[in-house]
Structure 1
Amino acid sequence: MRWDDFRSSDNVEDRRGDGGGGGGFQMPGGRGGLGIGTIIIVGIVGWALGINPALLIGGLEAINGMGGGNAPQQQAAPRTTPQGAPKDELGRFAAAVLAQTEDVWTELFRADGKTYQDPKLVLFSGATRSACGGAQSAMGPFYCPLDQKVYLDLSFFQEMKTRFKAPGDFAAAYVIAHEVGHHVENLIGILPKVQQAQARASSRAEANNLSVRVELMADCLAGVWAYHANARFRILEPGDVEEALNAATAIGDDRLQKQSQGYAVPDSFTHGTSQQRVNWFTRGLKGGSMQQCNTFSGAI
């Protein structure tokens, strides 16, 4: 993937090495609704699947009638944080991919008569704070709609190589683009509707199904980004698409459940099968249209 000859975004907060965001890491769920054991398990699932753990926790609270579907809020501690593009290679890579998402989504929103609001990318090591609560590396990358920031510990890319067997620059870019896809969902009003629908859900399976739709839409939007970024910047090199498809396959619910317990339980899926994730990313990549990414079909 070509990236090092393009601009880097200044919408980066580099919290690496700041000692966990000030005051140490605190688990989300401070209202006491979910037990700490449940929250830890959700964090592990989020790490394995690379999703927003706050959305999972909010969904669980909604199902249990404890939180109205809203993620627990926690005010970030004020501190001086380096702003702008980092100087190290991995930091520059993340900032360059973010810049490409800014350019693509700004243009697509403008063409639809709307204004795109750039998200912030927070780079951290180990643990930090977000408006959705505490965050740590074990949760994996996630998007917090309350502060419109993507949280990323860059060590996750090494985990992709070793644990998920999904190496490559474009596989890593797919992860960032997927989280930015959640930001797009938030801007167009999808995430608030999903939280409301989860609060009304009659079963955990129904709430999980909504989560699957959110994640598959973000996969499709990541494909839309890749389509337009390649058309504009010619970022793709031989083997890049295969890298992203390999990553999408590696983090399918069915694949992960079979690896961990030997069988899959479809009602517990929160992201979709490997084939679904590949199909929706490919759909966005081939068509380049946001309108093709509607995974809800009247569900919300």
Structure 2
Amino acid sequence: MPEKAATTSPRKGLLLRLLRGLSWLLIIVALAGVAVYLAFGPAHMIDRLKPPPPAFPEKVIEDPAAAAKPAVSPSPAAMQQAPADSQELATLMLDSIEDIWGEFLARADYAYKRPKVVSFRDRLESPCQLKGTFSGPLYCSSTSHLYLDMGYLDDLQKHAPQVGDLARSYVVAHAAAHHIQKLVGVVGWFRDLNADLAPAQGRESLRITQELVADCLVGSWISYARRKYAWLEPEQLEAALRAVRERDAARVGAGLPPMADPLDLPDPAARLRWLNVGIDSGDPRECSKLFTVEE
């Protein structure tokens, strides 16, 4: 007698349909998860967690009638010649930076705190937790120490006398501009962002940007300081930057210790461009554009 054909019970058919529906639901959820991961996952975590750039203080406006454009020439009472002694020049420039930036920072409820200046000549042992012997200017943000190499400044004056006063002033002001970045939070912003970046994601680019921000801040200072110090001539900045780069290379070739913070990293044209942004505007807030501009 033939066996009866097997029949699927209603309960078993319902279970199969439920399993099939659950399988499709799991596939849809998995695809959605992949899409969310690709759109918002670790690859984009830096962009989402990146801290907002710090705000620079408002510009100094000594004369409301002149607010649209800073003075373009020294005042009649401006000091015409820089001190020959590099130590004296450095002190003069740091006093000027304190006066002008003290006003800048006060307008944004910051307080200017003068860095601890350490003068030396040609050789500096283990500054700022660095191991070895170094030369040249250096700002150490962890201790707010500003190291100024008087031998380096004298070399600039000796080998580029036509622009030596401006070149020496620029070197001092650039090192001090890194201190300004610390006071307004730029150094911390770069440090936090740098810690989250892999080398391939642009750590070198961040360093270059920080250097150019310093140059732009130097330009903001020059736009006002040039009224008092006639040798701060923007027209001579290109030659002064060239002299700085040449002395950096020459000192290494002469067997002196390596520069602690060489000034030859960014392209010279980029340095000059952002110096002029600060000079032309007289407004340090213009320097914040470097947080979004690719150099």
Q: If the length of structure 2 is used for normalisation, what is the TM-score?
A: 0.58
Q: Are residues 1:149 and 2:139 paired?
A: no
Match of 1:213 in 2: 209
Q: Are residues 1:124 and 2:120 paired?
A: yes
CA 1:194/1:228 → structure 2, altered by over 3 Å: closer, same or farther? same
DSSP 3-state at the match of 1:118 = coil
Quick one: which of 103, 106, 109 aligns to 1:107? 103
C-alpha separation in 2, matches of 1:225 and 1:290: 9
**Counterpart residue identity of residue 155, structure 1:** G
Q: Are residues 1:296 and 2:291 paired?
A: yes
Q: CA deviation at 1:230?
A: 2.5
Whose RCO is larger (CA < 8 A, sep 6+)? 2
CA 1:135/1:291 → structure 2, altered by over 3 Å: closer, same or farther? farther
CA contact (8 A) 1:249 1:278 kept: no
The within-5 A match list for 1:71-220 is 89-125=85-121, 126-133=123-130, 136-138=133-135, 140-160=136-156, 167-204=163-200, 206-220=202-216
The within-5 A match list for 1:59-74 is none
CA 1:105/1:205 → structure 2, altered by over 3 Å: closer, same or farther? same
Quick one: which of 272, 276, 283 aligns to 1:278? 272
Q: Which moved more, 1:210-219 or 1:144-153?
A: 144-153
Match of 1:240 in 2: 233
Match of 2:71 in 1: none
C-alpha separation in 1, matches of 2:221 and 2:178: 12
C-alpha separation in 2, matches of 1:197 and 1:287: 28
CA contact (8 A) 2:119 2:147 kept: yes
- State the Cα deviation string for residues 70-104 of structure 1 (Å, max 9, x = none): xxxxxxxxxxxxxxxxx992211111111111111
**Counterpart residue identity of residue 168, structure 1:** G
C-alpha separation in 2, matches of 1:101 and 1:176: 10
User: Which structure features the higher share of helix residues?
Assistant: 2
Q: If the length of structure 1 is used for normalisation, what is the TM-score?
A: 0.57
Q: CA deviation at 1:148?
A: 0.6
C-alpha separation in 2, matches of 1:252 and 1:209: 20
DSSP 3-state at the match of 2:150 = coil
C-alpha separation in 1, matches of 2:113 and 2:89: 21
Q: CA deviation at 1:152?
A: 1.1
Aligned residue pairs, count: 197
- State the Cα deviation string for residues 139-164 of structure 1 (Å, max 9, x = none): x2010001112101111124435778
Q: Which structure 1 segments of 5+ residues have no match? A: 1-86, 261-268
**Counterpart residue identity of residue 240, structure 2:** A
C-alpha separation in 1, matches of 2:198 and 2:264: 16
CA contact (8 A) 1:252 1:275 kept: no
**Counterpart residue identity of residue 87, structure 2:** G
C-alpha separation in 2, matches of 1:160 and 1:118: 25
C-alpha separation in 1, matches of 2:165 and 2:112: 26
CA 1:270/1:230 → structure 2, altered by over 3 Å: closer, same or farther? closer
DSSP 3-state at the match of 1:285 = helix
Q: Sequence identity, in percent?
A: 25
Q: Larger Cα Rg: Structure 1 or Structure 2? A: 2
DSSP 3-state at the match of 1:143 = strand
Q: Are residues 1:287 and 2:281 paired?
A: yes
CA contact (8 A) 1:252 1:272 kept: no
Q: CA deviation at 1:114?
A: 1.9
- State the Cα deviation string for residues 132-189 of structure 1 (Å, max 9, x = none): 3357443x20100011121011111244357789842121111111111101111111
Q: Which structure 2 segments of 5+ residues have no match? A: 1-82, 254-262
- State the Cα deviation string for residues 26-74 of structure 1 (Å, max 9, x = none): xxxxxxxxxxxxxxxxxxxxxxxxxxxxxxxxxxxxxxxxxxxxxxxxx
Match of 1:27 in 2: none
DSSP 3-state at the match of 2:274 = helix
Computed over aligned residues only, the root mean square deviation of the Cα atoms, in angstroms, reads 3.2
Q: Which moved more, 1:120-129 or 1:154-163?
A: 154-163
